[in-house]
Amino acid sequence: MKVVFVHGRAQENKVGADLEDSWERAAINGFTAAGLTALAQFDVVLPYYGDLLFNLTEEAGREAFGTLVDRGADASAPSAEEQQFTQDLVFEIAQRKGISLESIALEAQEPVVNRGVQNWKAVLAALRLLDRVPGVSQSAIELFTRDVWYYLTRKGLRLQVNAAVDKAIPRDQPCVIVSHSLGTIVAYNLLMSRPQRENVKAFITIGSPLGIEAIYSRLPSDVGPRRAPEGVGFWFNARDSEDTVALYEISTEVYKGLPAVQNYSGAQNTSDNQHGIVEYLGDKAISQAIYAAVR
């Protein structure tokens, strides 16, 4: 059975074949560590879009955002919509990492108000506080936020990324999709845009931000209403509860219908940010889920 790996962001300047090999080796090593017998065949493909995503988001304004953060509140802020998204996401991350609004207000030296367009100084303060948390990087959060925002809101960018991945996902041949981080959003959108999904035997999302309201409330309308990808055989979502990107489980109340997502939040990811895919693929429960889907 074909296994389609869908990678996330920050994979620019890599060789697609090397990235595919690292995922495949990590998955096979995970099977072995879980005590599973060797598969007779493990047919994998990883559609690489790392350079494409980087170039598109760079063109859309990555450098301007970095300059904004460097200059602080004296710089002109992004649009009101982008400010609100950034505030929503950054404040959710801060809350999950134990940073209160009171602490943010103290760092910002001004009260935290309701709307992002009036709150940019507090957002920058929250980013500074997050940078002091072990395993959390201000720059990584900035760039993740920026990449997700452009993917969700720039249709031309999104369609180019989707096209790079879509051609690797079979339409008739049975397959399993294993996605990570931003790749879970890409894979979800592709599945929802397909009229027939019965050949997808399992949809496995790892370290996914699809449970974050700031993200799921802004999923593009061109893929239809937000719900479970009907027709897919099984949906398994795995996360380390300390993963800065996968803040929450994926709710069956948000993604209603079948297949009902099965959440597993017991992964112990040993990478610096509890988000690394190689470490995730070494988790026993994740290995068992992939193995059972492929057999």
Q: Which helix (H) or strand (E) holds 2?
A: strand 2-6
Cα–Cα distance, 194 to 287 (Å, whole number)? 27
Give residue 73's pLDDT: 46
Q: Kindly indicate the confidence band of residue 114, based on its pLDDT and cuts at 50, 70 and 90.
A: low
Instruction: Write the pLDDT tens digit of every residue in 251-260.
Output: 999 999 999 9
- pLDDT score, position 15: 97
CA–CA separation, 293 vs 295, rounded Å?
A: 6
**CB within 8 A of 184, min separation 6: which ones?**
6, 8, 205, 206, 207, 208, 209, 210
Sequence ranges of the domains in the chain: 2-48+154-253, 64-153
**pTM for this entry:** 0.91
The string of pLDDT tens digits covering residues 125-164 is: 999 999 999 889 888 998 899 999 999 999 999 999 999 9
Please report which confidence band the pLDDT of residue 10 belongs to, taking 50, 70 and 90 as the band edges: very high
Taking only Cα atoms into account, the Rg of the chain, rounded to an integer number of angstroms, comes to 19
Paired tokens of 33: 């560590």
* Residue 63 reports pLDDT greater than 70: no
Q: What is the pLDDT of residue 54?
A: 94
Contacts of 202 (CB under 8 A, 6+ apart): 176, 177, 232, 233, 234, 235, 236, 289, 290, 293
The answer to whether the CB of 77 falls within 8 A of the CB of 70 is no
Q: Give the pLDDT of residue 74.
A: 45
The answer to whether 158 and 164 are in contact (CB under 8 A) is no
Q: Measured between alpha carbons, how far is residue 280 from residues 53, 82, 92, 269 in Å?
A: 23, 31, 23, 6
Q: How far apart are CA 61 and CA 74, in angstroms?
A: 18
